[in-house]
Structures are given as C-alpha cells and as structure tokens.
Structure 1
Amino acid sequence: MTCEFVFLPVSNADSMIIYPNGGSAVVIDLHKIPTLLKWFQNKKETNISRLYITHEHRDHFPSLEDLVTFLDNWLKSGKVGSICLPYQVYQQAKKKVDSDRAANKRLEDALDQLRRWEKKSIINFIEVTRGSNPYSQDFLEIHVLHPGLLYAQEHLASIKGRGNEISVVLRVTYGNFAAVLLADIEGAGLKDCVDICKPHELNANLLKIPHHGAWPNNGDDLKQLLEAIDAEIAVLSVGSTNNYGHVVPDLFDLLLHLKNDTSKRLKKFACTEVTRTCVKSAIERSAMKKSGLDKQKFCAGEITIIAETSGEWQLKTQTVHEDIISSLPRAACQGKADLGIISP
C-alpha cells in the first residue's frame, strides 16, 4: 500500500494533495486552481474527502468568492466531503457584508451559497485547531498540531494581520510514515508551536518547509523545530520570480547543516522551482535587493513522495531533477551556493 504526497509547482505559494492508494484525495491549500484541476483530471479522480485551507493569505486561499466558484464547478461532476476554512474567516466575512452590502454583493452571494451547501449536507464546513476534527482514512491519519484554540482566539482578538502566526500545522501519518506540514508558520506562532508540540508529534520522515524558504526573525525557534522534526527529506514550495528574496540563504544554510550532521536524518531537500540563491552570487543578490529571477524555471517541478506504510519512501519529480541541479552554478542542495552575505 502506498500514499502519494504531491507538492504542485504553484510558484511562491502552496497547493498540495495527499492521495492514498485506493482512497480519496485530501487537498491542502488552493493556489493556481487550474494546476490542481489538471492533476485531478490526469488521475481521473473526482472525490476530495477533505480540503484544508491553512490560512487566509492569497498564496494559499483564493478568497471565499473564488472558492465558491471553484466548488460550483467541481460539484457538477465531483464531491467534497469537508472543508476546513481558516479560523473565523466566515464570521469575519459576514461582518464585512453587514457593514456594506452594496459593496460586497459577490461576497454575500458566496456566503449564501456556502450556507446552502451546509444546510443540504452537500459539504461539511469545520474549523480546525489543535486536537479538533482529526481525519482518518484506512492507514491515513491527519492531526492538527497548531494553532491551539485559545492561542487562535487570543491572536485574532489582539493582533491585526500576521496571519502566518495562526497557520494550520498538520501531522500526517500513513502507517509508519509521517509528514509534518508547516504551512507559513513564523513569529509568535512558530514559538508557540515549538512550545506546545510533544517530541513524538514532531518527528517525521517528510517536512514541508514553512513560508517558501523565508527566514523568520526568531530563526532559532525554526532551527529548534526542524531539528525536532528530524526529517529525511524536506520540500520547499517556492517561486523563481518571487520578490521576497526567497529562498533566504539562512534557510539553505540550516538545511545544509542538518544534511551534513551525521546525528540527523536529512538526506535530501528539493525545491519546486529554481530561485536566485542557486543562481546568483551573494554580491549579485545584494544588488538585486529582494527581486527574483526574470523567468520561472522548474527545479524539481511537481514533487511527489510515494510513501509506504512501512515508512519507506521514494522521490518522484516532474523534471530530470539531477540534471537541473547539475546545470545550476550555485545549487544550494549540492553545497555550491554563496551564502556569505545575508539577503536584504
């Protein structure tokens, strides 16, 4: 028995599919919906048993209006079991509509449609916080590690913005194989995740690196978290042309440190797209400020981890990955990147 963990190449954003052999798919985040639809068409799969939206930022969530458009089309020939919306997103949208109906007519229509689907039991809508609404399908289990309920409520009550801090962090197990998916966790949320999670919850074979290769102000907490996860393979969903300086050299430096540490298990890390750190020198990057490369270029492209219940896994990439890496003048995963100057 196997389960595919698929990271779609959606630039500096996230869209992921978990697809157990003989089962139905779980989707995590929605960016570049056409790319997601193409994957499902190729698989001839029409059932999404659960959809997680880790947080409200547009590189993970298309908006409630666009989500309804996607679901309207999907439900013509497919099914959706349950959707985990970002914490309190419906409530906040309802307040926005009530404040100015004329200006938010499309949003009001979207909320009405969501309620109709709920009333008719077409889709079940749930919010997820630590310990709530676990998912199970044969050998596959998904649990929420972060945010805790009170942390999420306190954050929303006292802080505007900084949505990454309440990103939903998931632990996914398939028999003896485990993955920890860190969404865009950073800042106070990252520290809270480190504090609240038990060692056995974190240890995993597969790690999804948070926030597309960013480096948080509390980098020591990220280092502590990645060391606790002690993954065998790490995946970065990144975009060649991003204007955030991703992948930040500090992040690659940490991954190389873990890879070269014989007491750690990291064997490999892979990026969906080539980023400037693997192409440009530190001096060149400094002159670029935070701008990315001129054109998109796949590194691994679509990344699939094929996991077995035994805990064994294999990597499948859309590109001939080793050839791409060999063509890069400063491939970070080969230790060739110029990491001497921190990107601005």
Structure 2
Amino acid sequence: MHISIIGMGLYKLLMSLRVPNKLNVFICIGVIWCYGIMTGMGASAVRAIVMFGLHFVARMIGRTYDMMTALSLAAVLLLIEQPRYVEHSGFLFSFGAIAALCLLTPVLWEKDRKPRGSVGKLWKSVHRMRQALASGAAVALVQLPIHLVFYYQFPICSILINLIVIPLSTIVMYNGMFCMLTGGFLPVIARKAAYINSAILWVYEKSCMLCEKASYGNIIAGKPERWQVEVYILMLVILSAVGKKMSSWWKIQWIIAALALLMFRHDGALSITVLDVGQGDGIYIRSEAGMHYLIDGGSTSKSDVGNYQLLPYLKSQGVKRLEAVFVTHADGDHYNGIETLMEASDKGGIRILDLILPDIGESARSEAYEKLIREAKEHRIDVKYMSRGQFFENGEMRVTCLHPYEDYNTLDANEYSLVLYLRYKNFQALFTGDVEGEGEEELKRYIEKSSILQGPISLLKVAHHGSGNSTGEDLLKLLDPQLALISCAEKNSYGHPHPDLLDRLENQECIVYITKDKGAITVHTDGRKIAVETFR
C-alpha cells in the first residue's frame, strides 16, 4: 500500500507537471526502489516493487499488465536469490494474499447487475461491502494453512478487523506524509493533524487487544500434516479454476470439505511427551479420548519457557484446554512456565481447568507453594490437592497418586514431590518428579506393601533429572522399567544425568532416552505396543 500510494502519487504529480511519460516512469521506479532499500527490502517490499515496476513498464511500452504474471516473476526473482524463502512465513503470507485476491476473490464474489433509480446508492454500498468480505474470506482461506503451520492457530477476528484496518490505512499514510512535510515549518498544524493518526492507531490497538482477549478470537487447530496442507491447496486451486461454473451451494460445500480435511486430527492412542525444557521438567499427556494433561512445566536454564516452549508445543498439538496441570513440587524448574500458562489461560490462551498440587502439611508449604495457589485463584483456576491412593480416570486411562500421603510434612520440597502412576490397558508409567531421600523410601515401602504395580513398568520418568542421589538400585529392581526418560539440560552444572544413575539403569537393562541428546521424546502406545519418537 505504501509503495502504491507513493508511486502513484508521484506519477500523477509528474504527469500534471507535463513530465514525459518515460522519464516519469523511470523517476517513479527509482523512488520506490529507494523506498524499498530504506525499509530493508523485505519479501513483501520486493514483491510490491517488482509488481509496481512491471505495471508502469507495461504502461510505458503500451502492453497489458497481468497481476499473476507480475506476482510470479517477483517470486522467481526472490527465490533465485534465496531459495529458502519458500519456507519463510513473511514470503508466504505476502504472496499468498495477492494470489488469493487474483484467483479466489473472483470466484467468491459474483458481480450483480446494477439497479437503476434511487436504489443505486444503496446497491453500491452493499456491493462494496460484499466485495470486501469476499476479498477478506479469500485471503483468510489461502493464509489459513500458513497460520497453522507456523503458529498453530488462526486469528478469526482478523477477518473483521481488516475491514477497519485496511480502509483507514490510506488515511494514516496520507496524513502521516502531510505531517512529515509540514512539521518543520507549520508545527502547530502538523500536531493537530497528527491527532487523526493517533485516534486511528488507538482504534487499531484496542481492536487487536479485544480480539486477543476474546474467548473465540483464535482457533487453535494444531499443526497439520504436510499431506493435509498439500491436498487443501490443491482443492483451492481446483475451486479457483472451475468455481465460476459452480453454484454458491456447491462452493460452500467444497470450502467446508477443504477446511474439515485441513483441521482433521486423529487421536487414537495414548501419547506421552517429555519436552526438552532444558534443566527442568515438562510432561504432556494426551489420553486416547483426546483429553490433555500437563505434569510440571519449568526450567532454570531456558528463559520464559512458558511462552517459548510450553505454549507453542501445546498449540501445535491442537490443545485448547488442559483438563489438569500437576505441579509435583514448588521448585522453579517445575512450575515457572506454568505461571505463564495461567496468565494466558483467561486471556484467550489455553484454558486450564484444575491446578493439582501435592497434599502436604502446613509446615511444608513454602512461599512458592502458596504463591501458586494465589495465582491460580486470580486466574479463576480451581486448585485441588492430591495424596496417596487418590486417582482419576479418563476412558481406559487411570492415574493414581502414590506419594505423598495426606498432610505429609518435610522441609525438603523434593521429598514431598508428587509421584503419579499411570495405567492404560497393559501399559504402566511412573512419573516421579524430583522425589528422593525419605520421600523415595516412603514410595518404595508403599509399592512393596500395596502391590499396585502389575509386573515390570513400561515407562519410568527418572526422578530429579537423573541425579545420582535418586532412583536408587532397590527402587529400580522393584519397578524393573523397560524404558527410562530423563529430562535435563546439555552441559548443566549438576552433572545430570549422573554416571552412577546411568550405570544402575544399564544394569537393569533399561532403554534410556535423554532430552539433552534427543530433544523432546514422545511415547505412543495402544496399551500393548510402544513406539518412541524423538525430535532429533
């Protein structure tokens, strides 16, 4: 828009001054080229400059201008210089929007015959509104897979906000140029004129903030598979090619089918992911029924782990709501990212139903523990407490607390760490938090006494990031795990995982995966077979 306004404005000005056409075109192209250099020559700027230049060259030599040809040439020139632009969101957004306006808008917007008489003015207004809605819908349809692949969500309010933003952008641009040109010698007038832009930008900001906070402002659909994106794009191409011959009803059905295919998710088995949060813990569980749970979420080696890892990963999985978030104990490397999730939960983010803490005695409750309770209540999240023997079920998945017992008192937060036992058909998993010392001894005695385990467990989330003082030999023999997962940072100052611990796991003939080596580790199971997927 900036390039079009500057280029066309300058062209018309020079025409009024009777500057020869060819010289006029060369001057305009030179000016917008300098403007592009000033703005950093981003993908969208290069696209606009190439298309604008071709438009004026065509006018100069008496040839017709085809927008799709100009768009294609701009794309080819950019990709020759940098082929990886094809994976760049800015490139895809910019070129996708113009392609949508060229190919899809004419299919979605059918011109009506203009009525005569007094109805004409009303028709004109309705006509423009329909055209704007069709253009917005076309751009949204094309940009939807780009949003989902890069950001895992789509801001649905943006379609309506653009109806406000785009028309007013011209006013902002022209008025801004006026202020810039007159500010040096007519500061009072320029200052008064600037209030117009301030008011418009205030409307922009408030509209976007309202959209962000709206419960349904964003559709979190998760990251689609590559084949889904490819088939979706193919369906849009077919619609743009033959859509004019289709009735409105069939167009709508075609679009609905394409959207359903793009957003389809198949959650047919239990999956457990130990996220690579560095020196900390973060475990995501999706039940076969499609419910979502989080055990811990924090780090001491990665800053703002909630915004940069927890939220993006959960959104990539299409998580709109967490049924429960378990905090095993009140150490920052287990909960500081969860504070971010709670802040976002009532602002259009991922909703958290319950925050579940270990049920410990008053003397064991630290300031961090009490702070978590206060923050949860501030964000309208129910706080519940879990102790030994309590459980919940979701479909065939059952999660039972093995430690601590009710009103457990200790001065060491690791000792009261929540230990959760998950059973799904023949699959058994144990999540141990940072339990160690007397807490581990208490856990071992309870397992021996209760006989809750049904033979060797399938998966053990190793306690305390692989500390040498936890997950002792006696406990390992009792659990006899097939698979062990360890969450720790690369080159951490604690030496995790400790060589002694790794030796104990090796002696137990246990397969070990460590996040510092493999990145995020995901275990898929149908209750019988287990498949392990690693990020790297």
Where relative contact order (Cα < 8 A, 6+ residues apart) is larger, the structure is 1
TM-superposed deviation, 1:74: 2.2
Q: TM-score, normalised by structure 2?
A: 0.45
Task: Name 1:315's counterpart in structure 2.
Answer: 532
Work out whether 1:29 is the aligned partner of 2:293.
no
TM-superposed deviation, 1:25: 0.7
Secondary structure class of the residue paired with 2:334:
coil
* Cα distance in 2 for residues equivalent to 1:207 and 1:9: 17
The one of 182, 200, 209 aligned to 2:452? 200
The one of 452, 466, 474 aligned to 1:224? 474
Size of the aligned set, in residue pairs, is 257
Task: Name 1:73's counterpart in structure 2.
Answer: 344
TM-superposed deviation, 1:169: 0.6
| Backbone CA RMSD of aligned residues | 2.6
Secondary structure class of the residue paired with 1:127:
strand
Work out whether 1:125 is the aligned partner of 2:392.
no
Secondary structure class of the residue paired with 1:17:
strand
* Cα distance in 2 for residues equivalent to 1:26 and 1:70: 13
Cα gap change, 1:90 to 1:84, in 2 (>3 Å):
farther
5+ residue gaps in structure 1? 98-106, 260-265, 274-298, 320-344
Q: Deviations over 1:273-314 (max 9, x none)?
A: 1xxxxxxxxxxxxxxxxxxxxxxxxx11100000112x2111
Answer 1 or 2: which has greater strand percent: 1
Residue identity opposite 1:229 in structure 2: L
The one of 521, 525, 529 aligned to 1:303? 521
Q: Which structure would you say has the larger Rg?
A: 2
TM-superposed deviation, 1:70: 2.8
* Cα distance in 2 for residues equivalent to 1:256 and 1:22: 35
Cα gap change, 1:54 to 1:89, in 2 (>3 Å):
farther
Instruction: Report if the CA contact (8 A) 2:274-2:522 is conserved.
Output: yes
* Cα distance in 1 for residues equivalent to 2:362 and 2:439: 22
Cα gap change, 1:95 to 1:17, in 2 (>3 Å):
closer
Cα gap change, 1:58 to 1:114, in 2 (>3 Å):
closer
TM-superposed deviation, 1:89: 9.4
Task: Name 2:331's counterpart in structure 1.
Answer: 57
Task: Name 1:147's counterpart in structure 2.
Answer: 404
Q: Deviations over 1:187-241 (max 9, x none)?
A: 111111111123433741001111111111xx6x721111111111110111112
- Superposed, 1:228-243 pairs within 5 Å as 228-243=478-493
Instruction: Report if the CA contact (8 A) 1:23-1:137 is conserved.
Output: no
Task: Name 1:11's counterpart in structure 2.
Answer: 278
Secondary structure class of the residue paired with 1:15:
strand
Cα gap change, 1:57 to 1:89, in 2 (>3 Å):
farther
Work out whether 1:137 is the aligned partner of 2:394.
yes
Answer 1 or 2: which has greater helix percent: 2
Instruction: Report if the CA contact (8 A) 1:301-1:318 is conserved.
Output: yes
- Structure 1 residue ranges, 4+ long, deviating more than 2 angstroms after superposition: 66-70, 74-79, 85-97, 110-117, 198-203
Task: Name 2:439's counterpart in structure 1.
Answer: 189
Residue identity opposite 1:306 in structure 2: H
Task: Name 2:512's counterpart in structure 1.
Answer: 269
Instruction: Report if the CA contact (8 A) 2:360-2:406 is conserved.
Output: no
Task: Name 1:44's counterpart in structure 2.
Answer: 318
Task: Name 1:293's counterpart in structure 2.
Answer: none
Q: TM-score, normalised by structure 1?
A: 0.68
Instruction: Report if the CA contact (8 A) 1:50-1:82 is conserved.
Output: yes
TM-superposed deviation, 1:94: 7.6
Task: Name 1:280's counterpart in structure 2.
Answer: none
* Cα distance in 1 for residues equivalent to 2:270 and 2:341: 25
Residue identity opposite 1:12 in structure 2: Q
Residue identity opposite 1:315 in structure 2: V
TM-superposed deviation, 1:79: 2.2
The one of 150, 166, 176 aligned to 2:426? 176
Residue identity opposite 1:188 in structure 2: E
* Cα distance in 1 for residues equivalent to 2:443 and 2:508: 20
Cα gap change, 1:314 to 1:148, in 2 (>3 Å):
same
* Cα distance in 1 for residues equivalent to 2:362 and 2:327: 13
Instruction: Report if the CA contact (8 A) 1:29-1:61 is conserved.
Output: yes
* Cα distance in 2 for residues equivalent to 1:236 and 1:227: 18
Q: Deviations over 1:69-105 (max 9, x none)?
A: 53131233332221113445999578999xxxxxxxx
TM-superposed deviation, 1:30: 1.3
* Cα distance in 1 for residues equivalent to 2:436 and 2:375: 33
* Cα distance in 2 for residues equivalent to 1:96 and 1:84: 11
